[in-house]
Amino acid sequence: MRSAEELELRCSAKDCARTATVALRWNNPKLHTAERRKTWLACNLHEASLSEFLAARRFLRETEPV
């Protein structure tokens, strides 16, 4: 059985250990089918930078609260 700490969702930004607040759903259309979604988790501090990175490459599909 996992502890509450193990179940806590962590931000995907490098070296960040903060709790994630949003899920950034994305795919690379050159590699993935239209239905496929990969997920990066982001805290409040990194939501903008991770979203901008994905959006600049036209990979970001949707953002959902976690």
Distance CA 44, CA 59 (A): 20
> CB–CB of 20/41 below 8 Å?
yes
Residues near 61 by beta carbon (within 8 Å), at least 6 away in sequence: 25, 26, 27, 37
Query: pLDDT tens, 16-66?
Result: 999 999 999 999 999 989 899 999 999 999 999 999 999 999 999 999 999
Query: pLDDT tens, 37-49?
Result: 999 999 999 999 9
- Tell me whether residue 2 is exposed, middle or buried, using C-beta atoms within 10 angstroms of its C-beta: 0 to 12, 13 to 18, 19 or more: exposed
User: What are the domain boundaries of the chain?
Assistant: 4-65
Distance CA 41, CA 34 (A): 20
